[in-house]
Structure 1
Amino acid sequence: MTTGTSDVTVTQDCIARFQDLKLAKKYTYILYKLSEDKTQVVVDKASTSSKYEEFTSDLPDAECRFAVYDLPYEEDGAKRNKITFVSWAPDEVDTKERKPYIVAKNALRKKLVGVMAEIQCEDLPGVSYDSVVEAVRKQREQ
């Protein structure tokens, strides 16, 4: 696989489910993965669960994923939501397995118009609710 984003396509289902999350609030989070041949980004799971712990338990221990989470949090006494893009690449994943996800990330991000924050996580502490909220707040300040 070369390094151009033209090598990886994003299925229409990925975009449709994102629109359902963003506009219809049909889902709380969506997990994306690469197809077996590493040529397409596909939906791995779309969930309506409001339990953040379920989201983190759905992230595989030794595989990369992308996720979009409609993150609820409080700031200055007001309830807010930010659609957050998560790149999940656990430390256990070797470079050979990570590389196709690095290439696919740009292709997917270009299709997900409306993402308000983006984070990269390599372990469960990095994707904890408090860590993600803190990262979203920092990005908002920039």
Structure 2
Amino acid sequence: MKMLKDLKLRRKYRFLVLRIEGGEVVPDATAPPAAGAPQLEAALPFSDCRYCVYDQDYTTDDGRKTSRLLFISWLPHNATPYAKMAYAHGKTAVRRRMEGLFDVAASAFADVAAALGIEDDEDSDSDLDS
């Protein structure tokens, strides 16, 4: 899959969203390297399943900047049971073609945010600290 090589080696995309269509896994959406979690959230459908490969930049414990690829299985709660079964069953075949990726299972964007290390500021008690 050429788009995956562009993501892994050339860092041409921040993420690649894949869907199953007619028994084949095909690209559904991509984003430029400057994109982030908000663009990923917008690209994931509210009530349908997808696979996603996300290029995450992070800093190691010793201060080095690096990146890793996350393979996200997007199976939202309100997707049809048929879609969930199809994506769960097809995951093994898709993952065989992609080595060295970290697995993330997500049914809500909060699961994706947690995997990306994004803090949720809505539950913060900072207004009460006066």
Normalised TM-score (structure 1): 0.76
8 Å CA contact retained: 2:14, 2:36: no
Q: Partner residue of 1:51?
A: 36
**Correspondence 1:62-73 to 2 at 5 A:** 62-73=47-58
Within 5 A, what are the aligned runs for 1:1-142? Answer: 15-35=1-21, 37=22, 39-48=23-32, 49-76=34-61, 77-115=63-101, 117-128=102-113, 131-133=114-116
More relative contact order, 1 or 2 (CA 8 Å, 6+ apart): 1
Q: CA deviation at 1:93?
A: 1.1
Alpha-carbon offset, residue 79 of structure 1: 1.4
| Gap change, CA 1:124 and 1:133, over 3 Å in 2 | closer
More helix by share: 1
Uncovered stretches (5+) of structure 1, i.e. residues with no partner: 1-14, 135-142
- Let me know the Cα RMSD of the aligned residues: 1.3
> How many positions carry a matched residue from both structures?
115
Name segments (4+ residues, structure 1) moved above 6 Å: none
Kindly provide the CA deviation profile for residues 23-48 of structure 1, in whole angstroms up to 9, marking residues without a partner as x: 1111110000010x3x1111101221
